[in-house]
Amino acid sequence: MKTTEKFNDLLDKHHLKKTGPRLSVLSILNSREVATSQPDLEQMLGEEVDRVTLYRILNTFEKSGIIHKILDLNGTSNYALCSPLCTSEKHKDEHVHFNCTICLNIYCMDEVQIPAVSIPKGFKATNKNLIIYGSCDSCNKKGKE
């Protein structure tokens, strides 16, 4: 299936209109190995999408379960595509995130699940998030050169 068809199907699944700006945001997020901040998305999109429209797209995508948000070391929101199992009612992206303290990239480690955590009686968890800080493979290789 072509990438464009995949994105059209994704927007259909979440009952969202297929617009050029939405497809462009999906294309950028899909092409990156790391989570991407709104300022970086603005720069990559250029004049194609204004800041307010981008904010609305990210907000809509997050509420719909298309993307998830990860905060970086500076508290800036970064975004990555969700699992196809995510919906507006339930995000199933309960994987570990790795935040490199050297290059500042954030990686979704889909293969590393967040371990089960027992919380006290009376509390109800609605979301899990685990961020590991350290140096990524790329930065470690640069340090050995």
How many domains are contained in the chain?
1
Read off the pTM. Answer: 0.86
Contact 95, 112 (CB under 8 A): yes
Range(s) of the domain holding residue 112: 3-144
86 annotated among ligand-binding-site residues? no
CATH number at residue 127: 1.10.10.10
Q: Which residues of the chain have pLDDT under 70?
A: 1, 92, 144-145
Bridge partners for 67 per DSSP: 81
pLDDT of residue 83: 82
Tokens, residue 66: 């298309």
Q: Is 108 annotated as a binding residue?
A: no
**Is residue 103 marked as binding?**
yes
Looking at residue 116, its pLDDT comes to 87
Residue whose tokens read 């809509």: 60
Please tell me the predicted confidence (pLDDT) of residue 48. Answer: 86
- State the Cα–Cα distance between residues 3 and 11, nearest whole angstrom: 12
